[in-house]
Amino acid sequence: MSGTAQAGTAQAGTARAAGAAAGRRVPKNHISIQLYTLRSVLDDDLAGTLEALADIGYRAVELAGTHGRSAAEFRRLLDRYHLRATSAHVGFEGADVDRLIEDARTLGYSTAACAWANHPTLDEWTAFARRLDRAGRAFRKAGISYGYHNHAQEFTPVDGVRPIDVLAGNTDRRNVHFEDDLYWVVVAGADPVAEYHRRFGRVTQFHVKDRAPDGGFADLGTGTMDFAEIFRRTWRGPMKQYIVEHDAPEDPLETARVGYEYLADLRF
């Protein structure tokens, strides 16, 4: 596993350093949080956690399941606390896509993504990409943008070819967008700016996840990722969702607070 990013792009001291004097900001209505970050406290107190997110300032969330509630029940809780589900992680493999689309309409999100895939051969990655494209076409016809969220394995070549390029090359840009998890791009040794422009126009979501000096996860602004530089160099193109995420937070609500304030205050 490589932890080295391209110099000056993803790791340039602390994330607070670059772009401090610039005036551009992430629009607050494009700041979201992946609820996977808060899965432990959501399971313990769903309503109270959603209320706490709203009190922090969030108005948008990305779903990762509905924590034992029906789509309608979860939507009522979101409405109660003036939160919108703008996106969701929903797997299409083995699922009833028509039902997923129905739930999306109930919950109100118009963007979704497949959160995980890992295959040992290029043939299997290619077959997966074609299934992804078919699912994306069905979502698109229903007015929902469907995409793919990466980890590190998509950037590790298989027989000299990167799976991420197989996915991009075997899906129609009208059917499949990309949600770039910036942490995992860097862990894979790739340059998130170069990857954004390699698939320019198809990357419409960022998972904004910081990387600790030891390579683990960190709250936003406390790690080594230079988000100001990344955002400045990827500003051109479709307006994006900037989604706070931490895979293993010690204090999920504190992580959520730090993440929101960091993105709201960042200048680039």
Residue 23: per-residue pLDDT:
85
Task: Give the model confidence (pLDDT) of 187-221 as tens digits.
Answer: 999 999 999 999 999 999 999 999 999 999 999 99
Confirm whether 199 is domain-assigned.
Answer: yes
Confirm whether 48 is domain-assigned.
Answer: yes
List % helix, strand, coil for the chain (3-state, nearest 5): 40, 20, 40
Confirm whether 237 is domain-assigned.
Answer: no
Task: Give the model confidence (pLDDT) of 176-188 as tens digits.
Answer: 999 999 999 999 9
Q: Between 147 and 15, where is the model more confident?
A: 147
- Asked whether the predicted pLDDT for residue 172 surpasses 80, the reply is yes
Task: Give the model confidence (pLDDT) of 61-95 as tens digits.
Answer: 999 999 999 999 999 999 999 999 999 999 999 99
Residue 19 token pair: 């772009």
Task: Give the model confidence (pLDDT) of 90-129 as tens digits.
Answer: 999 999 999 999 999 999 999 999 999 999 999 999 999 9
Give the CATH number of the domain where residue 153 resides.
3.20.20.150
Q: Measure the CA–CA gap between 102 and 112, rounded to whole angstroms.
A: 13
Residue 22: per-residue pLDDT:
67
Q: Between 142 and 13, where is the model more confident?
A: 142
Q: What is the pTM of this model?
A: 0.92
Confirm whether 238 is domain-assigned.
Answer: no
Q: Which residues pair with 218 in a beta bridge?
A: 210
* The total number of structural domains that make up the chain: 1
Residue 16: per-residue pLDDT:
42
Is the Cβ–Cβ distance between 65 and 96 less than 8 Å?
A: no
- Asked whether the predicted pLDDT for residue 246 surpasses 70, the reply is yes
Is the Cβ–Cβ distance between 23 and 16 less than 8 Å?
A: no
Q: Give the angle subtended at the CA of 3 by the CAs of 87 and 188, to the nearest 5°.
A: 50
Task: Tell the residue number behind the tokens 């979502």, with chain if given.
Answer: 139
Confirm whether 17 is domain-assigned.
Answer: no
Q: What SS3 class is residue 205?
A: strand
- Asked whether the predicted pLDDT for residue 9 surpasses 80, the reply is no
Is the Cβ–Cβ distance between 255 and 39 less than 8 Å?
A: no
Distant-in-sequence, close-in-space partners of 261: CB < 8 Å, separation ≥ 6: 57
Q: Which residues pair with 217 in a beta bridge?
A: 211
The neighbour count for residue 201, using CB atoms within 10 Å, is 12
Distant-in-sequence, close-in-space partners of 11: CB < 8 Å, separation ≥ 6: 4, 5, 186, 211, 224, 225, 226
For residue 136, the one-letter residue type is G
Look up residue 250 and give its DSSP letter: S
Which range marks the domain in which residue 33 is found? 28-227+243-265
Residue 89 token pair: 């992680």
Residue 268 token pair: 């680039």
Is the Cβ–Cβ distance between 34 and 243 less than 8 Å?
A: yes
Task: Give the model confidence (pLDDT) of 24-53 as tens digits.
Answer: 999 999 999 999 999 999 999 999 999 999
Q: Give the angle subtended at the CA of 143 by the CAs of 138 and 148, to the nearest 5°.
A: 60
Residue range 215-236: average pLDDT?
A: 98
Q: Measure the CA–CA gap between 159 and 36, rounded to whole angstroms.
A: 33
Residue 34: per-residue pLDDT:
99
Is the Cβ–Cβ distance between 72 and 99 less than 8 Å?
A: no
Confirm whether 10 is domain-assigned.
Answer: no
Return the minimum-mean-pLDDT range out of 12-16, 178-182, 226-230, 247-251. 12-16
Burial (CB count <10 Å: 0-12, 13-18, 19+), residue 215: middle
Confirm whether 150 is domain-assigned.
Answer: yes
Confirm whether 211 is domain-assigned.
Answer: yes
